């Protein structure tokens, strides 16, 4: 399998705290890789190291064979990495279509405005916002804002999508719909690295899972292997019976 993203021995310190410690993992083409761990384990810091918000204090980040370590976020986006945020950040006064157009203009293909609008419309329809194209983002529900955040990232036409808790705050029906959208994204050939606290969902979605604890990789494997790993149960899942149930899927 071809590697899209390679994290090699990455470290990140904040003062005397080592938030990420000698972390290494790979995301392959068309793969969904889950990234889980307790609060404060370093998951969002890893995303910020990948997309250039933070510069590693050691180690390398490679994307499609190119060293992107410490590159500015706009350059990383041009290479083909897009992300969503745990706290949705739409451009509140712009419409759904305009928000997605911004993503297309500043994404991998640097699309001119006319083509960017066409790309924006297509992804808005794909995530289920076709009836809200002219709605200002500020007027959307939380679930619709989550879809908009996803559509804006997709409009950048990424090769790798970083999803930061896109299921948080959704009800069971909304979660089910979003899970299907995520599977559809992988069907488009886009690799996905996903942070999520809803264990049944991430275990059902992911091909493999990486577990972080205190900034270090605690375990890596298939969802079934992770759910059965005693160290993971002790550090994170907490209940062996729950762990046994998790790899049954979302």
Tens digits of residue pLDDT in 118-151? 999 999 999 999 999 999 999 999 999 999 999 9
Per-residue confidence (pLDDT) for residue 249, from 0 to 100: 43
| Confidence band for 238, pLDDT divided at 50, 70 and 90 | low
pTM recorded for the entire structure: 0.91
The C-alpha atoms of residue 84 and residue 82 are separated, in whole angstroms, by: 7
Q: Which residues of 88-123 are buried (b: 16+ CB within 10 A; e: fewer)?
A: bebeeeebbbbbbbbbbbbbbeebeeeebbebbbeb
Match domain 1-80+158-250 to its CATH number in 1.10.3720.10, 3.30.230.70, 3.40.50.300, 2.60.120.10: 3.40.50.300
Tokens of 21: 């410690």
Digit-coded pLDDT (tens) for 61-101: 999 999 999 999 999 999 999 999 988 888 989 999 999 99
Lowest mean pLDDT among 74-78, 194-198, 200-204, 238-242: 238-242
d(CA 104, CA 248): 37
The pLDDT value given to residue 237: 59
| pLDDT the model gives residue 228 | 86
Distance set, CA 100 to CA 82, 139, 150, 197, 199 (Å)? 13, 16, 9, 27, 29
Give the C-alpha distances (Å, rounded to integers) separating 35 from 17, 95, 111, 213, 249: 21, 32, 31, 11, 16
Q: List the single range of 19-33, 81-95, 188-202, 234-248 with lowest mean pLDDT.
A: 234-248
25-75 residue pLDDT tens: 999 999 999 999 888 889 999 999 999 999 999 999 999 999 999 999 999
The DSSP secondary-structure symbol of 171 reads -
d(CA 180, CA 195): 16
Between CA 152 and CA 137 the distance in angstroms is 12
DSSP 233: I
Q: Domain boundaries in the chain?
A: 1-80+158-250, 88-157
Average pLDDT over residues 183-192: 95
Mean pLDDT of 147-161: 95
């Amino acid at each position: 399998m071809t590697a899209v993203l390679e994290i090699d021995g990455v470290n990140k310190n904040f003062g005397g705290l080592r938030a990420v410690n000698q972390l290494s993992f790979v995301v392959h083409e068309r793969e969904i890789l889950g990234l889980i761990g307790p609060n404060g384990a370093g998951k969002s810091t890893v995303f910020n190291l990948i997309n250039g918000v933070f510069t590693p204090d050691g180690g390398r980040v490679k994307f499609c064979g190119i060293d992107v370590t410490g590159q500015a976020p706009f350059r990383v986006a041009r290479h083909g990495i897009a992300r969503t945020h745990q706290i949705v950040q739409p451009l509140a006064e712009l419409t759904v279509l305009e928000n997605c157009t911004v993503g297309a203009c500043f994404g991998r293909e640097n699309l001119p405005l006319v083509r960017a609008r066409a790309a924006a419309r297509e992804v808005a329809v794909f995530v289920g916002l076709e009836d809200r194209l002219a709605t200002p983002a500020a007027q959307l529900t939380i679930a619709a804002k989550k879809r908009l955040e996803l559509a804006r990232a997709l409009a950048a036409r990424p090769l790798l999508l970083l999803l930061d808790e896109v299921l948080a705050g959704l009800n069971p029906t909304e979660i089910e719909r979003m899970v299907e959208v995520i599977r559809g994204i992988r069907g488009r050939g886009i690799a996905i690295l996903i942070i999520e606290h809803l264990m049944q969902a991430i275990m059902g979605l992911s091909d493999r899972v990486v577990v972080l604890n205190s900034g270090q990789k605690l375990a890596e494997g298939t969802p079934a292997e992770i759910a059965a790993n005693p160290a993971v149960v002790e550090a994170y899942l907490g209940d062996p019976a729950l762990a046994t149930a998790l790899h049954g899927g979302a």
